[in-house]
């Protein structure tokens, strides 16, 4: 039986990866996390795992070979709060820990598929996996970029051969704006779709930032990618161990926040048996409230992102990503069913 490790297992992406592995009948999974936030257990409760290991003890035990032969590590564990200002904490969690894990994987012959971030691009207007376009706006983005840079040095130009001469898969995924089931524990860092679902339930309207950065109200554009697509691409690389590198993982399609808002509103109207409305009518009826852009985010906010998928396609991954309207509607239905 193939043994898999998933770090950040009770988190958003990690728990969905486990669900994806379970759907394939794979259950020999070591789930690694820190459950100080106890409610995160809900993301694991309906999943099949072989063992749960606290993050504080896992990394040393893994390096010593305690878990036997492991095929691959999906490394999703990180501090993902882009507003976190404690750089020492951020670098320890997102860089140093990942570096030690990489070393242990190479020593033990284990494949490493890890979470990077589109935050590595920061203020850039080009989103291609190239150092020329990497300009993080916060310490979170820098912590992710530094590990990517280390992997480039360690893995060589072909990103497959390490300095030790071993050929072992290493894949970094630069996640764009991921949304979908199992993110309820993230609080303010949960997706816009999640927050708007609850806003509409409690206030009968959704909220968006007003104009900023040369964009009209609700007009800032992001590459929103549905969690099912993120899992599918992770598993595609798991199925293709010969493919290594750093890859964007977004839909390749920039859409305005207004698209998310209108999709949430119309999905919830549909659940009530009401007809869909165009954005103009949604706004006219006060179903969207635009709020002043917060000072705390000025100069630290990406107004536009769109993943360049050239490298992903060149690797042979031809996965078709859903658009915001499709993904958000599916997500709203899931939330409504779960009463989440």
Catalytic sites, residue numbers: 140, 186
- Bridging pattern class, strands 221-226 and 254-256: antiparallel
Looking at residue 270, what DSSP letter applies?
H
End-to-end CA distance of the chain: 34
Sign of the CA dihedral with 20 first, then 230, 10, and 41 last: negative
Looking at residue 161, what DSSP letter applies?
B
Query: What is the Cα–Cα distance from 59 to 8, expressed in whole angstroms?
Result: 12
CA-nearest of 230, 211, 228 to 220 is 211
Q: How many CB atoms lie within 10 A of CB 157?
A: 7
Q: What does the DSSP assignment read for 61-80?
A: HHHTTTT----EEEE--S--
Query: Residue written as tokens 């554009």?
Result: 221
> Quick one: which H or E segment has residue 232?
helix 227-239
Query: What is the Cα–Cα distance from 248 to 239, expressed in whole angstroms?
Result: 18
Query: What is the Cα–Cα distance from 217 to 304, expressed in whole angstroms?
Result: 14
Query: Residue written as tokens 């284990």?
Result: 110
Q: With contact defined as beta carbons under 8 Å apart, do 52 and 31 qualify?
A: yes
């Amino acid at each position: 039986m193939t043994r898999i490790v998933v770090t950040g297992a009770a988190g958003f992406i990690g728990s969905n990866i486990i669900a994806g592995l379970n759907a394939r009948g794979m259950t020999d999974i070591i789930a690694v996390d820190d459950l100080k936030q106890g409610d995160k257990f809900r993301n694991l409760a309906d999943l099949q795992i072989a063992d749960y290991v606290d993050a504080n003890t896992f990394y040393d035990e893994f390096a010593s070979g305690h878990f036997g032969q492991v095929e691959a590590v999906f490394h999703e564990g990180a501090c993902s709060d882009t507003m976190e200002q404690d750089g020492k904490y951020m670098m320890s969690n997102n860089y140093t820990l990942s570096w030690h894990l990489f070393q242990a994987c190479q020593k033990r012959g284990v494949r490493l598929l890890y979470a990077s971030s589109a935050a590595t691009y920061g203020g850039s207007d080009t989103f291609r996996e190239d150092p020329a376009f990497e300009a993080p706006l916060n310490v979170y983005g820098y912590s992710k970029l530094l590990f990517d840079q280390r992997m480039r040095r360690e893995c060589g130009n072909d990103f497959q051969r390490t300095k030790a001469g071993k050929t072992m898969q290493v894949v970094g995924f630069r996640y764009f704006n991921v949304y979908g089931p199992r993110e309820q524990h993230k609080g303010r860092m949960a997706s816009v779709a999640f927050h708007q679902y609850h806003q509409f339930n409690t206030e009968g309207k959704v909220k968006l930032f007003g104009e900023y950065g040369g964009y009209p109200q609700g007009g800032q554009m992001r590459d929103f990618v549905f969690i099912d697509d993120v899992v599918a691409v992770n598993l595609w690389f798991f199925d293709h161990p010969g493919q290594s590198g750093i890859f964007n993982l977004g839909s390749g399609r920039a859409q305005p926040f207004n698209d998310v808002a209108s999709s949430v509103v119309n999905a919830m109207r549909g659940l009530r048996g009401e007809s869909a409305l165009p954005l103009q009518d949604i706004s006219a009826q006060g179903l969207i409230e635009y709020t002043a852009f917060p000072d705390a985010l000025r100069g630290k906010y990406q107004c536009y992102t769109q993943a360049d998928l050239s490298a992903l396609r060149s690797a042979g991954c031809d996965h078709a990503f859903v658009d915001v309207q499709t993904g958000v509607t599916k997500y709203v239905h899931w939330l409504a069913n779960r009463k989440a």
